[in-house]
Structure 1
Amino acid sequence: MSDEFYMDLALNEAWKYQILTYPNPAVGCVICDKFGKILSIKAHKKAGYLHAEPMAILFALFNLNDEILNKFLNEYNVCFTQSFKTLTELNEADLDAKFCYEFILSNHGNLLNDASAYVTLEPCSHHGKTPACAILIKQLGFKRVIISVCDENKIASGGAKILKEAGIDVKIGVLKEHTKKLMLPFKTWLNGNFIFYKLAMSANGVITGGIISNELSRTHMHKLRGVIDLLVIGGNTVRVDRPVLDARLANAKAPDVAIYSTKRDFDTDIALFSVKNRNVEILDNLEVINKPLVMIEGGEQMLKKIALGEILNVKWVLIYQSSEFKNADNIKLDVRLKPLYEGRLGDDRYGWYEVC
């Protein structure tokens, strides 16, 4: 298989956690043995937790040796008062980065000698909330590290240099244009604000009439609400739907809300106004918004204004599409979108699209 094949797998995995890693970038990693057999495909899931490289390395070791997995389960459960029993449970957990890093160093048994790592972003070189990934790879005896794009952050960059000086074969630039798209939100919120629009629709394009997407899709959306700086919603949607707009399905903090409306008369019994520790603003001009990460939820009229460039600089649209038809009028818009990533959440499809 080609380097492009493996890097594409890393990119696809990273896209599953797009935005959810805020304020960090989405990063994917594939670990292969010296024969090219895939040992693991993992990604960075959440800021402050395992980076993509140690996550992939840890699960590669689990797949190579059941004793390592069992030892990890025992020691992690004792240390953090957990009751994990399976690989699936570990995969879904937010594992402590420091513990995992030290466990890898103490238990790798040279099993990854001459292995290869494919990573979408240059492994970090500094010790911040998590230890340096480049140092970890160096100490495990990897033979090759294939990097899509270099890290432009002066603090975190330098991983490729560390690896090269250790005698590791480093290749840079594989599928770099694809990775630049993946990195766009991160690059944008670092220097301004990244704004995206979320839309849920039925199989036949209906966006009204109550709950449309399945619970997996709604949970994913609640996870996004849990990390954004601000949620923008149209005034008409608030009046008609009377939403809560919290992040309960993800057990996360509800976002602050900006209601876009020229009229300020809202029924304060609407659920969104009673969420604790939330700031709610009513704005007739969204250009004043300067938060780094903003998600917009709204109806057809809001999307039309965005598509026509009347409000905000929306770069991407996130669409959840159910597999069910609804007996109602479908959305009617003249908008051209370019697909960036498409995946599945149970029976629902979802995708990130660039506004052309």
Structure 2
Amino acid sequence: MAISPEFYMQLAIDAAWRYAFLTYPNPAVGCVVLDKHGALLSIAAHQKAGGPHAEVLALQEAYAKKSGDNAILALQKSDEIHDYLTQHHAGLLRGAKLYVTLEPCHKVGKTPACSRLLAEIGVAELFIGARDTTSMGGGAIFLASSGCRVTYDVLAQKAQALLEPFLAWQSGRTVVLYKWAQHQNGAYEGKIVSCETSRRHVHALRSVIDRLYIGGNTVRIDAPTLDARLVEGKVPNVTILSRQKVWAHEAPLWHVPHREVTVEENLSTLSSYGLVLVEGTQGLWEAFAPYVTYDLVYTTPHMRQGATIDAVRDGTYVASMAMGEDQFHIIKRKP
């Protein structure tokens, strides 16, 4: 029984959501590669701005699987992977089918153009979720002119949803992520709630955001550090939302090098940032309710007594995935 293009595109979409926001300001993109016989070779996603695109990572893995040449897997820079594939592919991936959530780029930016690599490899069929209407677009037209069969708009709405943070960045709009961790029954109390895998994910998010907001009670009660040490990432600047003007600077967050900490009693500066992460509980959740774009919820498999955050009333679950022993949910708020 033939498997539909939608099935493979959904695999690519799921892979992309795992790196959503971590690629900011780049869009999250996923890619799936099948060989000419229809065997699944790889599923990959763009992981960080300036790094290899999803197509490059998927072809890197596909080539290693097809050839047994694992030397390529040690390469991390996009141009190195491009060059290695160009020199060594030996037609092993000729006739491949490629499913990608966003049309392959055709212009050289921080990385080489994906469209030319696909043509060199000999990809026979390309299935595209969302079309690239930016200046980087044109890859599909180029590949079609090279003899590749191109199918557009496969799960287009779902693929387009991945682009919303990128489109917001392009238009100067602020994207606000509201993060919280909770137990299976919704209780959130406790200094450490989620597993280490989830905490590493949060640290990775902190390393790419423009601003981290927390509430005054969190500083007073939890005395957090709020750095990105688990991923050795960039330290986020912090804004404490509080009417308290004078602080003793006892919490570790005040003493992290290369950090700016401000205290503000309202959200008047929120719109001056591109990507914002809010870490808080019920009180802060209510304060940010009109501004939140996505809720990020880390749910442990454990039960515990304590206060809970009201469920999101006006939102759509766009992605759910395992995060270690936890479940991670991304909820898109209604405008």
**TM-score class, shorter:** over 0.9
| Residue 305, structure 1, aligned to residue 287, structure 2 | yes
Partner of 1:7: 9
| Aligned counterparts, 1:236-275, within 5 A | 236-275=217-256
Q: Which runs of 4+ in 1 moved over 4 A?
A: none
Find the counterpart in structure 2 of residue 87 from structure 1.
Answer: none
Determine the structure 2 residue equivalent to 1:183: 163
Shift of 1:161: 1.3
Q: Which amino acid aligns with 2:286?
A: K
Q: CA deviation at 1:333?
A: 5.4
In 1, Cα distance between equivalents of 2:276 and 2:317: 20
Aligned residues: 330
Secondary structure at the counterpart of residue 162 of structure 2: helix
Instruction: Kindly state the Cα deviation for residue 238 of structure 1 after the two structures are TM-superposed.
Output: 1.4
| 2:31–2:44 Cα contact (<8 Å) kept | yes
Counterpart in 1 of 2:99?
118
SS in structure 2 at match of 1:197: strand
1:292 aligns with 2:280: no
Distance, in Å, in 2 between the alignment partners of 1:329 and 1:121 is 41
Q: Name the structure 2 match of 1:169.
A: 149
Q: Give 1:328 shift.
A: 2.1
Q: Distance in 2 between matches of 1:49 and 1:106?
A: 21
What SS does the aligned partner of 2:277 have?
Answer: strand
Q: Is the 8 A contact 1:239 1:266 kept in 2?
A: no
Structure 2: any 5+ residue segments left out of the alignment?
none
Indicate if the aligned counterparts of 2:179 and 2:297 stay in contact, CA closer than 8 A: yes
Measure how far apart 1:288 and its partner are.
1.9
Q: Secondary structure at the match of 2:262?
A: strand
AA at the equivalent of 2:292: V
Structure 1: stretches of 5+ with no match in the other structure: 77-89
Whether 2:158 is the aligned partner of 1:158: answer no
CA–CA distance in structure 2, aligned partners of residues 286 and 134 of structure 1: 43
Displacement after TM superposition at 1:305 (Å): 2.5
Query: Contact 1:11–1:179 (CA<8 Å) still a contact in 2?
Result: yes
Which TM-score applies when normalising by structure 1?
Answer: 0.90
Q: Which residue of 2 aligns with 1:65?
A: 67
**What residue identity is the alignment partner of 1:160?**
A
Q: How far off its partner does 1:57 sit? A: 0.6
Match of 2:257 in 1: 276
Distance 1:158 1:334, change over 3 A: closer
The 1-side partners of 2:332 and 2:72 are apart by: 41
1:317 aligned residue (295, 306, 311): 295
| Match in the other structure for 1:207 | 188
Alpha-carbon separation, structure 1, partners of 2:224 and 2:182: 17
What secondary structure, in the 3-state scheme, does the structure 2 residue paired with 1:287 have? Answer: coil
Contact 2:24/2:165 (8 A) holds in 1: no
